[in-house]
Structure 1
Amino acid sequence: MAKDKSGFFNDVYEVVKLIPPGRVTSYGAIAAYLGSKGSARMVGWAMNASHGNKDVPAHRVVNRNGMLTGKSHFDQKNPMEERLLEEGIEVKDEKILRFKEVFWDPSKELEL
C-alpha cells in the first residue's frame, strides 16, 4: 500500500535533516533511498512545502547536476546560495562547484 503524500513528505524531511553541513544531495538520491526512484519531482514538492520549517535544511537539496533549482523558493534575506556559501560550498552560475566531492548519497551514508 502506497504512503499518502504527507507521509512521503515527512520521510523526505527526516532524510534531509540528516544531510551534514557542507554537503548536498539530490532530489533523485532521496527518492531512491526512500524506495521511490521515480519520485524525484515529488521530493522537490516536499522541499517547496518545507520552507518555513527551519528544521529542514532544504538548501542542501539540488538537482542531479548540482544546479540550485529550488532557489526561487527561498526568501530574499537568506537565499539558497548564501546558505550554501556559509557552509563552505562554492557556487558559480547557480551550480555547485566540485559537486561530486560534496555530494552526500543517503543510500551509501545511511542504513535502511
Structure 2
Amino acid sequence: MPAKPKESRVQEQRRQVLEAVRAVPPGQVAGYGEIARRAGLPGRARLVARILSAGDEPGLPWHRVLRSDGRIAFPPDSPAFAEQVQRLRAEGVRVEGGRVRGQRAAPSLDEMLWSPPGGPR
C-alpha cells in the first residue's frame, strides 16, 4: 500500500486553523489572533482571516470568529455582516452595533502567567 503523501506546510497550517475554528463551541466566539494561537500559529491572525475568506469549507462555523475587540470584520452594510449577526444571535450571542457583548476574549498565555490573581487582565 503506498504511503499517504505528506501535507505541505501551507496545507498543514490551513488544517490547523480549520480545526481551531471548528473547536469554538456554539454560543461562543474567538478572535482571529486567538484562533491563530489555538492552531499553534501565534501572531498569524491575518493568515486565519485569509483562510476563512476563501469560504470553501462547508459547515465551518466561521461566524464565531471576530476581530480582537469583538467587532465583526465585514462592512456593516454587507450581506456577510448581516449573515454573521444572524448566525451569532441564533446561537444566543448578544450582538449590538456590530460588536459582540458580554463575552471576554480568552486570555493569552502571557496574561494567564503574568496577571495578578483576581486582578485585571
Give the TM-score, by structure 2 length.
Answer: 0.70
Alpha carbons 1:71, 1:81 under 8 Å: kept = no
Higher RCO, 1 or 2 (CA under 8 Å, sep at least 6)? 1
Paired residue for 1:65? 69
For the pair shown, the structure with the greater C-alpha radius of gyration is 2
Q: Give the fraction of aligned pairs with identical amino acids, expressed as a percent.
A: 27
Unaligned runs of 5+ in 2: 1-7, 110-121
Q: Structure 1 pair 105/15, CA: closer, same or farther in 2 (3 Å)? A: farther
Cα displacement string for residues 26-84 of structure 1 (whole angstroms, at most 9, x for unaligned residues) = 111111223321101101111111x2423210000001100101468x855x7111000
Equivalents in 1 of 2:108, 2:60: separation in Å? 15
Unaligned runs of 5+ in 1: 108-112
Return the match for 1:16 from 21, 25, 28.
21
Number of equivalent positions: 100
Q: How does 1:67-82 map to 2 (within 5 A)?
A: 67-70=71-74, 79-82=83-86
Q: Structure 1 pair 48/13, CA: closer, same or farther in 2 (3 Å)? A: same
Q: Structure 1 pair 105/58, CA: closer, same or farther in 2 (3 Å)? A: farther
Give the TM-score, by structure 1 length.
Answer: 0.75
RMSD: 2.6
